[in-house]
Structure 1
Amino acid sequence: MGAYQRKYAAAIAAGQLSLTFHFEALRAKTNRDKVLEVVNTAERLLTGQEVAQRAGISYKQALDALTFLHNERRVAREGRKFTSRWGRLVRETGHTRLEGFFHAIACPGAI
């Protein structure tokens, strides 16, 4: 049995591993999770700085997370570069396109 295995076995016997796993579970919330929670609970569109402040992370970490989530189609972005605002993504149900199609058929001159 190697030194690591002896140390691991001793930690199990002493009940110390449960504390380690509990600590890891608390730390497991990633920046993306924090940012997604902030964006989904916001009542208006937020700037990157506001998202970073509310999530408790740096501006760069917030922008990286927001960009990833936007590419995954989990948050919406309005504007570009420094004027961008971030918010929750409102999924289209498909009925609006269908209604538009039937409206175009019923009223061809209205478009």
Structure 2
Amino acid sequence: MLAFHPQMFVRIVQLDGPRAPVPLPLLSGFTENRAYRVVGVYNPSESSDAYFILPNDREELWFICQRHLRFAGLHDTAAHHLAWPLSADASHQSGGAAVPSGDALHATASD
């Protein structure tokens, strides 16, 4: 079972090349100037990759490999897409990535 934070957003940084995982998000209705809410996570047993279930700009749900994704923060909003990068005002209003540094999601060896 994979758990994820319900307010987690990711941004697209597509890998290119012959070994890039498919589908390629920028060819599947996603853009680099948005953050996308994670609505689910799937990890097939035959793969070390995890696939994040994301709604694209056409409101389709896609399974996108984690290698194409970067963490964009925890945002307390009902929106499924956010403009990226966030302005300082938008980040503050949406909750930004305002998670205490000691949070289990951000634990480090020094915590």
Q: Highest Rg: 1 or 2? A: 1
Task: Point out which structure has higher relative CO (alpha carbons under 8 A, 6+ apart).
Answer: 2
User: Which one has the bigger helix percentage?
Assistant: 1
**Under a length normalisation based on structure 2, what TM-score does the superposition of the two structures give?**
0.22
Normalising by structure 1, report the TM-score: 0.22
